[in-house]
Amino acid sequence: MKNHYQLLIIGGGTAGIMTAAQALKRNSKLSVGLIEPSEKHYYQPAWTLVGAGTYDYNKTVREEKKFIPKGTDWIKDYAVGFKPKQNTVTTKSSGDISYDILVIAPGLIMDTSLIEGLTESLDKGVVCSNYTNPEHTWNVLKNFKGGNAVFTQPTTPIKCGGAPQKAAYLSADYIRKNGLSNKSNVVFATPGSVIFGVKPIAKTLLEVIKRYDIHFKPFYAPIKIDGDNRIITFKNIAPDSNSFASNEGSPLNEKVKENATIEMPFEMLHLAPPQTAPKFIKESELANEAGWLDVDHGTLQHNTFTNIFGLGDVAGLPTAKTGAAIRKQVPIVVENISRLLDSQVIGDNKYNGYSSCPLVTGYGKMVLAEFDYNSNFIPDPKLKLMLISNSDKESWRLWILKKYILPYLYWNKMLKGKEV
C-alpha cells in the first residue's frame, strides 16, 4: 500500500467499485487506492425478494476481493476523517493517505436510535426489515396468521424509497394467496403525502392498493415502537394536523392520543430504519446542513473542494438513492476525473437526477419507475424496446428483469466497469 494516489476512493460498494473500474478502463496507468473494510459485497436490491421467500439470500453476497478492479490497491480499513486542504484522508489503522483526486462513496448507515424502541425491537419477534435481515422478514411473513400487517418508513431519506411499499405489496399478495385476507389488514403508512412522486407510477400504484385493499396512511411518521406489546406510535405530520379525524372503531383499532399521535397495534411490522450519512461525513466540513456530502447536483463535484467528488447514497442529491442512479452518476464522475487530471477543467456533461425504482407489486408483477430531478417519467428507450411494454404498468417481463436480468448485469457488467 502506498501513502499517495492519483485517485483515492472511499467505499467499495456499487459506486466505489464502478468508479475504480471505469477510471482504470480510461487510463490503466492511473494509481488508484480504494478504502473499504468489508470483505463481503452485497446485492441489496434482491433483499426485497428474499423477504418474500422468492430469492436465495446466499446469492446476494459474494467476496469483495473478486470485484476489486485489477490495478487498484485495496486498503482494507476505515476512513475516519478528512484534511481536504492538505488533500489527505485519515484512516483508522493505516494512517493518513494523500490524493490528487478524492471520490467519496461510503454509502449510508442505519440509525435505529432515531425512533424510540426501534433498536430494542428490530429483527426480533414480529418486527422486521428487508434493509437489515430479509430472512427474518420471510419468517415473520410465513408465520403471520392475521391481524394488522403494518409497513412504514422514517422521515429521513432512505435507500430505494419504494422498498417499504414493495414489501407491503408482496406481503399482501402472500396473504391473499394463503387465504388470510378476511382476517388481515395490510397497512402502508408513510410520512409522505403521496404514494409516489411520479404521476404515471402513482396512478398504477393506487390501483394496486385498491386491488389488495391496503389501508394507505399518508402523513404518518413513526416515532415509537413497542415490540413487546406490538404497538407502533405515529405522529400525524399533515400540514393541518388539527383536522385529523379519529380512527377509533376502525378495523385497525387505532387510538388517537394527544399531540396528533396515533397508536396502532400490529401482528407484523416491517419498516425501513432511519438512515443518515456516516458520522465521519456528517461531522466533517464536507457535509451540507443536512449532513450529506455537499456536491453539485450536476457535476457531482464538491461545492468547496474542486478535487473531491461524491456519488451514491452519501451524496446530497434530491433524487432517489438507488443503484440505477449510481449507474448514471459514475460516467459523469469518471469523465470529470479524467479531465481534471489532464487539464484541470471538468467536462460539460451533467447528471440529470436519473434514478429508477423497480416496484414489485406482487409475485410475478412489477412496475419500473424511472425519473429525473423534476420527477418526470423518463423510461429508458433501450429497456422499453427490450420489454415491449410500458414500464409504468404492471408486467411479468419487468418481474423477470428484477429477479434474473438485473442481478446478472450487476455482477457481470456494472461492477466490471462495462456499459449497461
Integer angstrom CA distances of residue 136 from 39, 139, 201, 347 = 23, 5, 29, 46
- Of 397, 415, 400, nearest to 327 by C-alpha is 415
Active site residue 128: no
Residues pairing with 276 in the sheet: 109
Rg of the chain (C-alpha set): 22
Active site residue 160: yes
Buried b / exposed e over 27-45, threshold 16 CB at 10 Å, is beebbbbbbbeeeebebbb
Whole-number Å distance between alpha carbons of 321 and 319: 6
Whole-number Å distance between alpha carbons of 325 and 307: 22
- Of the residues 102, 357, 369, 406, which is catalytic? 357
All three cell numbers of 179, joined, read: 387465504
- Of the residues 160, 186, 272, 398, which is catalytic? 160
The residue type of 383 is L
In this structure, is the dihedral angle defined by the CA atoms of residues 173, 156, 119 and 325, taken in order, positive or negative? positive
The residues, ordered by sequence, that sit 6+ positions from 375 with a Cβ below 8 Å of its Cβ are: 197, 198, 199
All three cell numbers of 161, joined, read: 424509497
User: Is the distance from CB of 12 to CB of 38 less than 8 angstroms?
Assistant: yes
Q: Where in the sequence numbering do the catalytic residues fall? A: 160, 357
